[in-house]
Amino acid sequence: MSARGRLVAVSNRVGPVRGAATAGGLAVGLVDALRERGGLWFGWSGRTAPAGRAKLHRERAEGITLATLDLSPQDFENFYCGFCNNCLWPLMHFRIDLMRFERRQLESYRRVNARFAQTLARLLRAGDQVWVHDFHLIPLAEELRRRRARQRIGFFLHTPFPPTEILSTLPEHESLVRALFAYDLIGFQTEQDLERFREHVRRACGGSARGDTVTAFGRELRAGAFPIGIDVDQFHRYAFTAPGSREFARMRGVLRGRDQFIGVDRLDYSKGLLRRMDAFGRYLEAHPKAHGKVILLQVAPVSRGDLASYRSFRQELDREAARVNGRFARFDWTPVHYLNRALPRRTLAGLYRASRVGVVTPMRDGMNLVAMEYVAAQDPEDPGVLVLSRFAGAAQFLREALIVNPYDGEETAAALHAAREMRLPERRRRHEALMRRLRARDVARWRSDFLAALAEAPLARRSTRKAK
């Protein structure tokens, strides 16, 4: 074990350790560090159990301890489905029209975080470094401090951070922001998210921000931007080795010379799927010569299917895909191919490689790793082109993509046409530059930069300023 002590990762869901690379996302970012440090990964078990019978589960996998807690059915409904997904998720994505706030759900959110903290506090050791992930667990450090935890605790927000005008629509928003000041370090995806946090502290909390030090509520913390990335070379290998290479060859056979546009997103209103379908329809309307020669493959696994708003959104998307197909399809050609199931990452790598255009057009996204995976999967000798929303965090540095405003259907349609028609020398130039950017900001750098900053951050301390 490292002399630095253990890394304790905390997230709502505990990802797989065996096969973490193929699971993607947070699992890729954490597992290597947990192996190196002899770490602990703590979170929800993904199961429910009656109140009083929920228990702590422990297992060891590849030198990592996994510790997970059950939720009661009531807390699953009010904490996870309710406050996290019906309130905080739309808030973080600037969709206050979809935000549903209920105080009983807020109380469940606080209760679950307190219970997590009570259990985790007994598992911590002196010298541990605690890394908490995402909006589900904002109050966790505050609850750990109440239980006299003195370890360094960092927090990383994977979603965007909303501006004051949006954040302040949340009742009790001040208590949520106050809870962040129990952390020693807070990380955001982009400089814009960091600046919105700093500005909110100044405007709404009576605090101050100087350099990377932010002060409010009588406490100081460090805050920075730590853009998450992917394992670029590994994902590239997925596209060129079995089973990804088989999927590529099979897809090329299915396409029979047609050009494929591909989108891969959770079935979520933040991903811009309705407007993407509309933009593809506009593209077909403007370019009749493309009829019969292009398809849009949209992979959209069902997300949060228990929520009424998501069931309604799925029905809307079904209708929009049917509308485009009904208008443009011929007996030998269906323009939109739409799948509602998750595909393995190795399969996706082959599909990305077979696609002339990657379409990543969320209305708001913290980063978006699909954009990076699409670029990494391309053949550098004959690469595809990425069309990317300006409102994805990835657009802040993937500047050689075709950047679009997804609210402008005509602009997006024009970008789809430009991407398909782009000549090989320009495609190669853009792809080479994008790959340099991806390698400079890969998942290993994200992990090491954050943990180094946490190790150097002063332990949570009182400020000399008077608390608000």
> Which residues make beta-bridge pairs with 289?
none
CA pair distance 394, 384, nearest whole angstrom: 17
- Number of other CB atoms surrounding residue 304 within 10 Å: 18
Provide the 10 A C-beta neighbour count for residue 233.
12
Q: Catalytic residue among 184, 231, 278, 365, which?
A: 365
SS3 424: helix
Check if the beta carbon of residue 113 is closer than 8 Å to that of residue 141. Answer: no
Lookup result for tokens 């106050």: 178
75 is catalytic: no
The three-point CA angle 391-373-255 to 5° equals 105
Residue 317 · residue 300 · CB < 8 Å: yes
For residue 192, give both structure tokens: 């814009």
Annotated catalytic residue, options 136, 158, 200, 236: 158
Could you count the other beta carbons within 10 Å of the beta carbon of residue 398?
23
Q: What is the torsional sign of CA 430, 432, 433, 438? A: positive
Bridge partners of 7, per DSSP, are 129
Asked if 156 and 131 touch (Cβ cutoff 8 Å), the reply is yes
Q: Is 202 left (phi over 0), alpha (psi -120 to 50) or beta?
A: alpha
Q: Dihedrals φ, ψ of 353, to 5°? A: -60, -35
Residue by residue, DSSP assigns 283-338 as HHHH-GGGTTTEEEEEE--B-STTSHHHHHHHHHHHHHHHHHHHHH-BTTB-SEEE
Q: Is 262 left (phi over 0), alpha (psi -120 to 50) or beta?
A: beta
Q: Is 200 a catalytic residue?
A: no
Contact 52, 77 (CB under 8 A): no
Q: What secondary structure letter does DSSP report for 54? A: -
By residue count, the chain amounts to 468
Instruction: Match 């024009």 to its residue by tokens.
Output: 414
Question: Residue 148, SS3?
Answer: coil
Are 170 and 176 a contacting pair, CB within 8 Å?
A: yes
Report whether 383 contacts 427 (CB < 8 A): yes
Q: What is the dihedral of CA 199, 204, 210, 216, to 10 degrees?
A: -140
Half-sphere exposure of 47 (CA within 13 A, CB side): 11
C-beta atoms surrounding 45 within 10 Å? 18
Provide the annotated active-site residues: 158, 365
